[in-house]
Amino acid sequence: MIPLAPKAAENAKNGIIDIPHLSLLRFIQPEDLVKSFREKFDHDPVGVSLPIVSPDGLLFPVEGTGDPLSPFAQPRVSGLTDFFDVVRAFAAMGLEIYLILEPSLKFTNAFPLYIRDVFGDHQSQLCIYNPGSRDLLKSIIITVIYKCLEVCAEIRRGCIKGVVLDLSDILPLSAENDRMALNCFCPACESWWAENAAPSAPLQRFRDFPSPWNLVLKQTRTGGIAYIENIQWDTTPHEIEGLTRQRGWDQTFNGIFGDNATVLLSYMRRRHEQIISVVQDLFDSVLCGLDDFKIRRILLIEGVDYCWTSGLFLGRLHEEKSIDELWYDPWLGPGARIERDQQLTRLKPYRTYLWRRARYFIDSFFEGYAGVVTGYRSSTDAVLTNMLVSRARQTIISSIASKTTLSTLLPLMISKDGTGKAGRIGYVSPILDNNFFFKAIQEAIRLRAGLSGDELIAKQMKNESDISKSGANGE
């Protein structure tokens, strides 16, 4: 083994394995996963992050919910029969346990809780601001925390180190003919906006065309959305207009912006405040009475100044008292990233997530994967295989999990007691490669083929029902 350069070797310490989906444990034992991490970074991980839901169902029973268990709730590796066996296995290896929740819960059949875009169309995922959604999320988190504390007490106290909210894609974007359809504007959100939005920025402004969003969002030829993300909390309307001209998007307004930039910034700031109110409520509720366990409150987001799919300003998060730690990817260019990180070093502890756009592409693959395995996605094997291969390819090319990346990061800021007071305290990396994706896609098609005709019809009938409820934006 070729030794790492001194800086890379130091930066390779304090790593956490991220297991984004329990299907990973269908192909590799926990101890072999740790070995793969060691071989990749020349250091053992200090912890592991485990998903507490799957895109297609719960991973353990939750009292009071009628949602199904995911077929991935059973890892199917030697000696592991359920989610808590997985927790027990990693805790027995001396690893810290981080419990990570992607809160959209696209599997739940709760139409009144679904997000709704600015034109009123639904998508089958939860609006996390809705009080009913938050009650459901709290039930899931509280269930897993207390059960994990019970499991880990058998091994050693203090195994559970953090609860992580994956906010990479809680506010999906869509567009048609350059008309932006952002989320969420369900009745609960509209009520919040009525109470909190500036009088000069009513929601009706965003139902017009061009809307203030058109200053910084643009539909691409392939149907995606290009966006300007280098907008900070204190960016001025004049600077917004300059960014728009620089992209050549001012033609949408015929060069006349009016007060659209002012209205846009008001929207972005209010959206940030709304999401933070949800984050604070969730953490305060699920960790109430658990101060002695010192469980950290962590957000996983994209490492951009403003993330459109989470509604959050990264720099502002470093000032939020309701958050103990951040995980985000080093998305910005080296010069801008280092300048920003040196400023943030004075603020909140953070870990570098070694994947571009954090969990965005990873979550997209596993959502498609789960849909194929369970039969909810209806099409030919060839079409489904192409969809999975395309998402796998996008996920693979987005990886920055390497020793080279570690060598470019700021030094670790670890105190003598092993904790981080401020600045970069470590990194988080999934262990995903071509071999895994090949096996996963192969298994997905095989398992789908194994469904009986009646099972496929039942799954696809439910899928058609979801589409009809979700309106034009349903998948």
What's the rounded Cα separation, in Å, for the pair 254 and 260? 13
Residue 420 forms part of a structural domain: yes
Residue 248 forms part of a structural domain: no
Q: What is the per-residue pLDDT for 415?
A: 58
Q: What is the per-residue pLDDT for 409?
A: 87
CATH of the domain at 341: 3.20.20
Q: What is the per-residue pLDDT for 21?
A: 96
Mean of pLDDT values over 73-88? 88
Concatenated DSSP letters of 276-345: HHHHHHHHHHHTTT-GGGTPEEEEEE-SSSEETTTTEEHHHHTT-TT-SEEEE---S-HHHHHHHHHHHT
pLDDT surpasses 70 at 339: no
Mean pLDDT of all residues belonging to the chain: 88
Tokens read off for 53:
């839901």
Sequence-distant contacts of 334-341: CB under 8 A, at least 24 apart: 334/408, 336/230, 337/303, 338/410, 340/315, 341/410, 341/423, 341/424
Mean of pLDDT values over 343-355? 83
Q: What is the per-residue pLDDT for 472?
A: 37
What's the rounded Cα separation, in Å, for the pair 26 and 391? 20
List of residues 6+ apart from 350 with CB closer than 8 A: 318, 325, 326, 327, 328, 344, 423, 424, 425
Mean of pLDDT values over 251-255? 93
Assign 330 a pLDDT band (cuts: 50, 70, 90): confident
What's the rounded Cα separation, in Å, for the pair 32 and 38? 10
Query: What are 467's strand-pairing partners?
Result: none
Please report which residue ranges of 42-186 form alpha helices under DSSP H.
Answer: 83-92, 131-153
Residue 214 forms part of a structural domain: no
- Give percent above pLDDT 70 in the chain: 87
- Count how many domains the chain has: 1
What's the rounded Cα separation, in Å, for the pair 166 and 188? 22
Dihedral over Cα of 300, 309, 474, 437: its sign:
negative
For residue 304, give its domain range.
Answer: 6-168+273-473
Residue 164 forms part of a structural domain: yes
Higher pLDDT, 475 or 421: 421
Question: 222-226, 248-252, 362-366, 394-398: lowest mean pLDDT where?
Answer: 222-226
Q: What is the per-residue pLDDT for 441?
A: 92
Residues 441/391, Cβ–Cβ less than 8 Å: no
Residue 187 forms part of a structural domain: no
Residue 259 forms part of a structural domain: no
Assign 332 a pLDDT band (cuts: 50, 70, 90): low
Span 311-328, pLDDT tens digits: 999 989 988 999 999 999
What's the rounded Cα separation, in Å, for the pair 475 and 473? 7
What's the rounded Cα separation, in Å, for the pair 3 and 7? 11
Tokens read off for 131:
């009080």
Residue 388 forms part of a structural domain: yes
Residue 427 forms part of a structural domain: yes
Among candidates 395, 301, 347, 349, which has minimal Cα distance to 100? Answer: 301
Assign 464 a pLDDT band (cuts: 50, 70, 90): very low
Tokens read off for 332:
């910005």
